[in-house]
Structure 1
Amino acid sequence: SEEDEEIVQKAFSRTFQDPSNLSERFIKFIDKCLDDYETIKGYYAPYTTLVQASGTGKSKLLINVAEKIMTVYCCLRDSKSSGYPFRSDIANILVRDFMNEQEAIATYLAYICACFQKMQEFDRDFKEWMDWHTNKISQEKFWRDVENRMGDIKSHLMKCSKDSETTELVKKYLVKKKHIERKGSVKYLFAFDEAHTLISKNDGNKSVGKNSLFYYIRRALILLPKEAGIFAIFTDTHSNISNFSPVSYLDPSKRVAEEGFILFEPFYLLDTVDMNVNFKKVMTLKESADPQHFFQYGRPLWGALLMPSSDTKGMESEHIIELAMDKLIGGKFFSVWKKDLKDSQKKIDILETLAILGPRLCIEVAPQSGYAPDLIANNMRLCINILEDRKYVVTSMPTEPVLAEASARIMNDPHVSLTELINQLSEALKKGVVEAGYRGELTARLLLLNAWDCCIKKKNEKEKSFDDTDIIFRFVTIEDFLRSLLADNVYEKIENRLEKK
């Protein structure tokens, strides 16, 4: 709705909270990458990837960094998506079918050259530059001018028959008319947000031959003169890590696979979890059950949606929980997803099972499993570490009240079979998808969770509060919980030891 859209925009415009100097660490990281590319032989192209799960602040980080580095920001979000940030107007030119490889590479080089020219002509600060080409109103005129410039540049680049000729011609377009006063190697950052459309074969099969568009944009980056000070960053909410930074033997470029070229490691340490929490404040039980409090835990998305600004009403907490439920199952509407379970006899698969149970069960997904990057890409699981060879991805699902509540509601929905979830979890253990060294602990956790859920249901029936859908965000007595957990004959043995209050 328009109201939700306004809330999301306001939430995105909130001041970037950076208690751990994340922006500075990211800038140092890309500066080192470009410095190594310029001085050390063996690196393939001047780019890297920004990898992390949804809601952790990747796009917000780029916007904040753009205040310190001259940045061209382009959101390549799917044309059918209603997400935020909005798809950039120029995306239709960059994500489309090309006649051949030469046209694709020439288009991406023309884009970089045309934007470079615009940057040289701009005489205000970096923040105003960023607003000029990302603002929903002003960007149309900006990108139309870029597109017009691209046409002329592209026609000249198409005449080049050798890579060396192309690079020499590009140099003529990258004439620096103004001095960028920053000490780092990166003078100009080209950011491609929601970049999964460059590798996706689902959006109209946007590719040239057997290669994805990402292959050709990398080829364009290679042809840039090293002294240009240009670096590219690719980021996305729903892309698989290996698509952007693959292991060498899976890389689509023969030059990388056969000649031993090095790709820069991804940047993934987005330590934004719990960044909005005031740990010094002592809370009462009543205060801790207030959405204003527990929505601050976890990734910053939840708190931003609840309180986008001091003068704007945020989303209702119930709406945010529903959004979290949709995100846990891969971005589908939960209402549609569960209807499919009922109508088409569809089975819950292992990926969905791990996503649903993850926020409550503390599941350890095997780093070598192919499910690990998929859970980061589509199901809110966080990336903790990526080994240098990129074969192993360590993931985690931190304690997040919002996701735990979303998980609990899915698990207790009448259309979702807990037995089926447990069977799929068992199958994941057999296949080595889930670390099998702590089966006893998993069983204990399932029993405790089931006891809690049953306790909440009984409490609702007793209090006749059937409209209260919260499962996690409620209090129960130890007595009621133990009564739900233990068999009657066992509970009777300890009942007298419980202190009545």
Structure 2
Amino acid sequence: MVGTSTQPALSWVPDCEAHAHTPQCSNVYTHMVDYFWQQPPNIWPPQALARCICWSAILACEIMDKSKLDDLKDDNAADEHPELRDRVDEIMQERDTEGFEALRRLTRYRLPTFQAYGNAAARYSKTFRSFSSPYIGNQHRVLLSTIDRYIQQAFAEQSQQVLTLSAALVQASCTGKSRATREVANERFSVSFCLREEDDKQLTYPPADTLLRNFLLAPKTKEAARSRLAAFVVATLDKSLAELKKHAPPSPSAWQDHLAAGATTTSRGEGQTALVKGIISRAKALERDRSWLDISTKGAASCKKLLAFLRELGMSSSSSHRAEFIIVLDEAHTLAAHKFGNGIETETESILGSLQRVLRLYTDAKSPIFFLFLSTNSKLEEIVAPLRKLPSLRKDLSYTLFPIITETIGFDLLSHKEMNKAIQARPTLETIVSPDLALSFGRPAWRALYDQAHESESERSRFKDVFQLVVDKMKAPDQRTATALEPGPGLDIVQIAHLAWASQRLLLSMADEPIGRGLSRTLAESYMRVILTIPVDRERVVTTAPSEPLLVEVCAQLQARHGTRDAILLEILFQRHLIAKGERGAAVTIYLHIRAHDKVNRKRYDEIYDKRNNTPNSFVLQPSFIFHRPVRLLDWVRALVVDSVWQLIRKAIPIGGADTDAVTFETAFADAWICTSHFAQAADEEVIKRDNLWNYFFRGVGLQCQPGQEAIDTVCPVLFVKPEAPFSKDDFGALYVQTKNRAYAKKIGVISPSVAKSRYDL
């Protein structure tokens, strides 16, 4: 948005060293600039094309952030970055070669992937900064109390034998698993190791403990893996004790500060690095000429020594009714991906399985030291394997496993505050598409990333980084990655991507059959579908597509970009029994509703965005809310029905109204708006009451009523307001929809206006 800025002016003084250009640094654009600089001034005016070429040349260096190219791609984008626009224009007009290179020496335009300690560019990363921002919610305490309850259950008299003092925390991407465990570590002594695989395509946080991951994955046989994992457990206890004695931190948070000191986006802290190196060295010494059983016998003594020292610090109780020390393995599915078999054996064991085998020996000792495995579940089935599938336990099923933890995440932590702030400030229609409001819904990560952007950046630029993150998470695989992915049940990998986009908007539930369960698991693994619960038997994973405007917008734009045909997709899904049948009429109703909503917003997109460089009917992803946006009710109805029906509807008058003074439908609803970019399930009749509908308009969601309702199937909030005028809660009504979902009509009474007690009801 263009306007008077209260932010400090950008500094053009270089804040990092000049880059020694390599053959990988493209010079094509530089040659173009040199050519134009040799021309008369009137050939090189400060216009959009010239500015874009110059800016492209500046960013052509391999260390520059290419995503910044959009900042000056056209006049609209340049208006969002007026100081940068003026600076580039000045460089062009003055043929300022030094100024050209000086822009390449600004941290804010470089990739945040430099070598680590104290590097300003790395610390500028939004991911890094958001991870260290104030924590919101109490999910970490829910997680900690769950772990303590598991310890109490394991140590209770006459309780069923627990297999290991460990559990898995499994949840979709960007739900705050790593951050929650960090907050747990501030209240209870812990060590955490990230075993994430190498990925050059995206910058993630926390960074991986690469040395430890490679060390744990090195064994080539089952016995070697067990020996290494046994040595790793003992070494972790021993070296943690040694480091604690050395630094004697007064609290768990002080211990974490020591481990994290000097950490950046791309590297662990100095204390963490020293701890990992010490663990590896100690483990190598332990595993020499010893079996894994011999190594594990040392573990009990190591546990006692560590717990005794924690009691000396006053940080451990003697009652053992809680977890006194927690060892976290982040991205634990990395260990599940490596399996071994010996000779004629048909059964295999993963490295994670080897670790769980080792940990069984610690259960009988009843030492309150707990292992927590975190996973974004690319190997979900290995992490949550049912007890019956564990080879060594088939003859003795008296053991029990702790339930998988899925619920300790926070959603909508800021939405209530932001909605109330907005309604008190007398919002307008543009408020709905404000990132401050839209990003407050769903995962806290969206708003945290947005809020942690550099204070000098425009709203569009701040939003663009968050938008691109979700695009990277949700986009369909390309040819280079397709061969590395396994097709899901019943669909190929591209169809699964289209299903992920549609399910985020159309309220689709996967069929409760093996093929549907597998598909549900696949969507959770790869497309951010949230895990509601994993039953104790671990036979299935219950997932849902949460109501998140940002995720919905990205899915809608990807559908437009790839030409997704939801009607054909729904037909395939129903025919192959991949989604729950339920009320098929409800699915069709939602599809038609959203299709009409999208048609209106797509028309607006085509009118606003310059498409001179694109083929007809193409769609280019835009870091803004294109489809999550209010539309006029009249435009929506017109897009919903054929023209002949529209002509009848627009002239319709109320039943029983006099022809002489009755107001037509078109006149009555001239200033009516709906905002339903996606649908969610209504829990009960209270949520469809008029007093509650305004917040669903803010969220851009329509409501599907529970099955079996005779009068109402779907409900959408309707706002009555002039396009630029402010509105209040009193300006809302409701659109109630009945779906005739039968081959033969069944007599159903009309919808009573009293259901919502509003003066605005359809």
- Whether the 8 Å contact between 2:511 and 2:581 is mirrored in structure 1 is no
Q: CA 1:257–1:50 in structure 2 vs 1: closer, same or farther (change >3 Å)?
A: farther
- How far apart are residue 41 of structure 1 and its match? 4.0
- Whether the 8 Å contact between 2:558 and 2:621 is mirrored in structure 1 is no
Correspondence for 2:598 among 449, 453, 473: 453
Q: Distance in 1 between matches of 2:496 and 2:162?
A: 35
Q: Distance in 2 between matches of 1:182 and 1:152?
A: 29
Are 2:285 and 1:152 equivalent residues in the alignment?
Answer: yes
Q: CA 1:354–1:211 in structure 2 vs 1: closer, same or farther (change >3 Å)?
A: same
Aligned to 1:342: none
Correspondence for 2:152 among 35, 57, 71: 35
Aligned to 2:378: 239
Q: Distance in 2 between matches of 1:112 and 1:262?
A: 22
Are 2:697 and 1:498 equivalent residues in the alignment?
Answer: no
- How far apart are residue 59 of structure 1 and its match? 0.6
Q: Distance in 1 between matches of 2:198 and 2:480?
A: 24
Are 2:496 and 1:351 equivalent residues in the alignment?
Answer: yes
Q: CA 1:468–1:423 in structure 2 vs 1: closer, same or farther (change >3 Å)?
A: closer
Aligned-partner SS, 1:228: coil
Aligned to 2:309: 178
Aligned identity (percent) is 21
Aligned to 2:196: 77
Amino acid at match of 1:286: E
- How far apart are residue 217 of structure 1 and its match? 0.6
- Whether the 8 Å contact between 1:366 and 1:432 is mirrored in structure 2 is yes
- Whether the 8 Å contact between 1:249 and 1:257 is mirrored in structure 2 is no
- How far apart are residue 323 of structure 1 and its match? 2.3
Unaligned runs of 5+ in 2: 1-110, 113-120, 343-347, 483-490, 612-619, 652-664, 672-762
Amino acid at match of 1:288: I
- How far apart are residue 457 of structure 1 and its match? 2.5
Correspondence for 2:433 among 281, 286, 289: 289
Q: How big is each residue's C-alpha offset from its partner over 1:164-189, in whole Å with a ceiling of 9 and x where there is no partner?
A: x5443323333235134345421111
Q: CA 1:437–1:131 in structure 2 vs 1: closer, same or farther (change >3 Å)?
A: same
- Whether the 8 Å contact between 2:310 and 2:316 is mirrored in structure 1 is no
Amino acid at match of 2:466: I
Aligned-partner SS, 1:79: coil
Aligned to 1:280: 420
Q: CA 1:63–1:133 in structure 2 vs 1: closer, same or farther (change >3 Å)?
A: same
Aligned-partner SS, 1:412: helix
Aligned to 2:525: 377
Q: Distance in 1 between matches of 2:385 and 2:402?
A: 11
Amino acid at match of 2:145: K
Aligned to 1:320: 466
Q: Distance in 1 between matches of 2:438 and 2:402?
A: 37
Q: How big is each residue's C-alpha offset from its partner over 1:224-269, in whole Å with a ceiling of 9 and x where there is no partner?
A: 2623321101111133443122223333x32257534211101111
Of 257-266 and 68-77, more deviation after overlay is shown by 257-266
Are 2:596 and 1:477 equivalent residues in the alignment?
Answer: no
Aligned to 1:48: 167
Aligned to 1:408: 556
Amino acid at match of 1:429: F
Q: Distance in 1 between matches of 2:205 and 2:531?
A: 22
Which protein shows a greater Rg? Answer: 2
Q: Distance in 2 between matches of 1:220 and 1:354?
A: 40
Q: How big is each residue's C-alpha offset from its partner over 1:36-69, in whole Å with a ceiling of 9 and x where there is no partner?
A: 2334342211111001111111111100000111
Q: How big is each residue's C-alpha offset from its partner over 1:149-178, in whole Å with a ceiling of 9 and x where there is no partner?
A: 2222223xx4248x4x54433233332351
- How far apart are residue 317 of structure 1 and its match? 1.6
Correspondence for 1:301 among 421, 445, 462: 445
- Whether the 8 Å contact between 1:321 and 1:405 is mirrored in structure 2 is no
Aligned to 1:365: 510
Q: Distance in 2 between matches of 1:353 and 1:401?
A: 18
Correspondence for 2:273 among 140, 160, 168: 140
Amino acid at match of 1:365: M
Q: CA 1:255–1:468 in structure 2 vs 1: closer, same or farther (change >3 Å)?
A: closer
- Whether the 8 Å contact between 1:354 and 1:363 is mirrored in structure 2 is no
Q: CA 1:265–1:310 in structure 2 vs 1: closer, same or farther (change >3 Å)?
A: same
Q: Distance in 2 between matches of 1:31 and 1:152?
A: 33
- Whether the 8 Å contact between 1:199 and 1:213 is mirrored in structure 2 is yes
**Which protein has greater RCO, CA pairs closer than 8 Å, 6+ apart?**
1
Q: Distance in 2 between matches of 1:334 and 1:60?
A: 33
Q: CA 1:383–1:334 in structure 2 vs 1: closer, same or farther (change >3 Å)?
A: farther
Q: Distance in 1 between matches of 2:455 and 2:556?
A: 32
Q: Distance in 1 between matches of 2:493 and 2:214?
A: 39
Q: CA 1:348–1:69 in structure 2 vs 1: closer, same or farther (change >3 Å)?
A: closer
- Whether the 8 Å contact between 1:53 and 1:381 is mirrored in structure 2 is yes
TM-score, scaled relative to structure 1:
0.87
Of 140-149 and 468-477, more deviation after overlay is shown by 468-477
Of 218-227 and 313-322, more deviation after overlay is shown by 313-322
Amino acid at match of 1:245: V
Aligned to 1:217: 355
Q: Distance in 1 between matches of 2:179 and 2:356?
A: 24
Q: CA 1:334–1:9 in structure 2 vs 1: closer, same or farther (change >3 Å)?
A: farther
- Whether the 8 Å contact between 2:498 and 2:564 is mirrored in structure 1 is no
- How far apart are residue 350 of structure 1 and its match? 4.4
TM-score, scaled relative to structure 2:
0.58
Aligned to 1:126: 252
Amino acid at match of 2:328: A
Are 2:558 and 1:396 equivalent residues in the alignment?
Answer: no
Q: Distance in 2 between matches of 1:412 and 1:245?
A: 36
Aligned-partner SS, 1:392: coil
Aligned to 1:340: none
- How far apart are residue 16 of structure 1 and its match? 1.4
- Whether the 8 Å contact between 1:329 and 1:356 is mirrored in structure 2 is no
Aligned-partner SS, 1:8: helix
Aligned to 1:263: 401
